[in-house]
Amino acid sequence: MLPKPDTFPIDMAPLKSDLSMPYTLTPGRAAGAFLAELGQRRIVGSRFKKSGNVVVPAQDFCPLSGDSEFEFVEAPATGTLTTFTETAEGLIGLIRIDGSDVDFPHRLVDTSLDDLRIGMRVEAVWADGIDNSILAIAGFRSSPNAPVGMIRPLTDPAQAVEVIPYRLDLHYEHAFGPYYGRLFDEIKTQRRIMGVRTPDGEGALLPPREICDVTHRPTGTWVEVKQTGTVRAMSIINLEFVGQKQAPPYIYAEIMLDGALTRLIHTVSGFDMSRAKELVKPGTRVRAVWRETQTGSLDDISHFELIDADAK
Amino acid sequence: MRNSRNLNMDRVAVVASAQTELRPRWSGAQHVDLISAVVASVFKGTGLSIDDVDFVIDSGSDVLDGRSISNCGFLGAMGAHHKEESRVEEDGLWAALYGTTKIAAGGAQVGLIIAYSKPSESDVNLFYSSQCEPFYQRPVGFDHRAASGIQAQRYLAQHGRTPADLARITAKRWSDAARHGRVQIASLPGESDVLSSANVAAPLRALMMARPVDGAVAVLLASEEIARRTQRKPVWITGMGASTDRHSFAARKAGALEACEVAARSAYARAGWDKPGASIAEVSASSAVSELMVLESLGLAVPGRGMDLLNGSGNTAINLSGGALPADPIMATGLVRLSEAVRQLTCPDIYGLESPSSAIVHGAGGVGMQAHCVMTLEI
């Protein structure tokens, strides 16, 4: 077995992090029509011209033949259960709407796992107050005597839904590992910024790491870098964007801390932003300003301030 | 340099592999720590070093990693500084396929293939759900669990198999994984434990699903010329195939893994095999049922008879590593199968194998195993 990467355990709890991504989804012609018609409690399918396949819910391309030329049809709200399972999300089955040539997944409601049978007749249960979502159909329930429905031409189609607002929320707990673990532990408890020496022992790499990126040789011993440094590059951010941590304008700078061979990205502030271009440029000397709070993150450094008092 | 041979593809060998232990949670290590551990190790004994590597190809998932283009943050750990580097957002076996193609085409001589996974940092259900179509599938709760449950219901009904069969294969895989010591196992589940574990996707129980684990694996590929210079016995990649089924699970052929069949046919044809008579098979799976379906799709058993392989029918030693049921490092599972098959071919005594000469390696990806990759190895 390999030497264990977690040979030097640290007791930093994992870093909780959430990604929340906003989207405006475009359903396109077929799904857009299907979602729009749910408001009228109608189920829309596609009938493909070349193959004659009927696909419910409507699709732009036939999943069986790949055809793209189709006309909309109105499908019945009845069908057959072809298979099913139960997960933490509930009872889920594949439904074949009467007249369709393909199945689709949906929920099974007003029933239990033991009552489900392959081939049983089902009908859609409509949900109140939900439009433009497949959940306008709450699910399908057992309907032993439901007559077999017919595919019909779609009359007076509603205007297709063009955009669906959507959000993807993802949750993480990131391990720090031995190197980031010590870095952030020292920041939290000692207010020290620790790097590791290069394999040759010259200068410090920040953030610290086990392997030198350039040579892929093991790095050297730990070393504290100074809390003063030099701006190497900077940008005044005037743009607003999703996920922004502070209101513009503000300065992001690449700062080379004294003793480090690498650049740290942080903010430079503490002066009248109208003088930003004049006061902050490559070569400007800066010093870390710590917050009162000690959380064990780079945010414990509030910002970097200008060292040259006259410049303020 | 190889102008005189440019109509003949170069032979490609696996010259070394290294992997971390596969654990439910590597809580004391970052991705980069796991990656640099395997990259530092993979060269040992080969006479090669990172300087000899012409290109690096890696597999992982941005969604699982929780950052965009996550490979960019891992380049240093991968040894990819100022090298040709490429990312494959599929299982690592596809990365190996890509690398093999590069070397076979004469464009490079030594390639480093890396796959890693830390699903413990993320939510595996959301990872798979994010792969589902957002208008029709995701809102109703259709995901990899539902797909696996549906595969299982159909397989058991069609072939007269029972949950007890699934418990048997699951317990066997876990005990094999424990025996060969590359998977962290706190307590070994018996068949009754499998049958009494929580319901996850009827008729599948929790232990019948592949267990997500953290880990990293690195594989070193080389041209014949370089491979012959290393001290190890080269393991030749003689065939490869990959195929992807319809995205819509409901539109795929019920009770079959057609893409797996196609990938296998392609690999066997390239290897010149008329039947899948390998000494070893290392296959991926999302559940006990999909493992049986994969074995059958690979032609190792007729449909519905995959369980017979557990009784020693056939001459192929299957998943001696334990396979994916006890340890599924999502995005790295297929490359771990390659690493395991190479280890079995080159160190057969560890596994009680007698002079094995060939192996089938299988990787998969997607909800309900939409995509499949198959390789044949020979020594």
The pLDDT confidence band at residue A2, using thresholds 50, 70 and 90, is: very low
Residues B12 and B88 in one domain: yes
Residues B96 and B220 in one domain: yes
The per-residue pLDDT for range A249-260, each reduced to its tens digit, is 999 999 999 999
Q: Which of A6, A102, A172 is facing B66, going by the closest CB pair?
A: A172
Q: Which of A27, A86, A133 is facing B202, going by the closest CB pair?
A: A86
Residues B171 and B61 in one domain: no
A125 touches chain B (CB under 8 A): no
Position A7 scores a pLDDT of 52
Give the span between the Cα atoms of B107 and B86, in whole angstroms. Answer: 14
The pLDDT confidence band at residue A131, using thresholds 50, 70 and 90, is: confident
Q: Domain residues for B294?
A: 236-378
Position B219 scores a pLDDT of 98
Nearest CA in chain B to A171: B122
Q: Which residues from A are below 8 Å from B136, CB to CB?
A: 31, 57, 104-105, 134
Residues B202 and B259 in one domain: no
Question: Domain count of chain B?
Answer: 3
Q: Which of A14, A83, A164 is facing B27, going by the closest CB pair?
A: A14
Position B8 scores a pLDDT of 58
Position B375 scores a pLDDT of 98
Chain B nearest CA to A216, separation (Å):
6
Residues B113 and B129 in one domain: no
Mean pLDDT across A265-286 = 95
Domain parsing of chain A, residue ranges: 27-162, 181-311
Residues B175 and B246 in one domain: no
A5 touches chain B (CB under 8 A): yes
Q: Cβ of B150 and A212 within 8 Å?
A: no
Q: Cβ of A87 and B249 within 8 Å?
A: no
Chain A nearest CA to B314, separation (Å):
31
* Residue A28 C-alpha from the chain's centroid: 22
The per-residue pLDDT for range A52-63, each reduced to its tens digit, is 999 999 999 999
Position B4 scores a pLDDT of 39
- Please check the confidence at residue A18 and state whether its pLDDT lies above 50: yes
Global pTM reads: 0.94
Residues B200 and B221 in one domain: no
Residues B152 and B223 in one domain: no
Q: Which residues from A are below 8 Å from B121, CB to CB?
A: 14, 172-175
Q: Cβ of B143 and A213 within 8 Å?
A: no
Q: Domain with B21 in it: what CATH number? A: 3.40.47.10
- Please check the confidence at residue A4 and state whether its pLDDT lies above 90: no
Position B99 scores a pLDDT of 98
Percent of chain A with pLDDT over 90: 89
Q: Cβ of B66 and A166 within 8 Å?
A: no
Given a cut of 70, the residues of chain B with pLDDT beneath it are 1-8, 231-232
Q: Of A45-49, A306-310, B159-163, where does mean pLDDT reach its minimum? A: A306-310
Yes or no: say if A104 and B250 are a contact pair by the CB < 8 Å rule: yes
Yes or no: say if B223 and B103 are a contact pair by the CB < 8 Å rule: yes
Residues B371 and B306 in one domain: yes
- Please check the confidence at residue A294 and state whether its pLDDT lies above 70: yes
In degrees and rounded to multiples of 5, residue B190 shows phi and psi of -90, 180
Q: Which residues from B are below 8 Å from A103, CB to CB?
A: 250-251
Q: Which residues from A are below 8 Å from B204, CB to CB?
A: 85
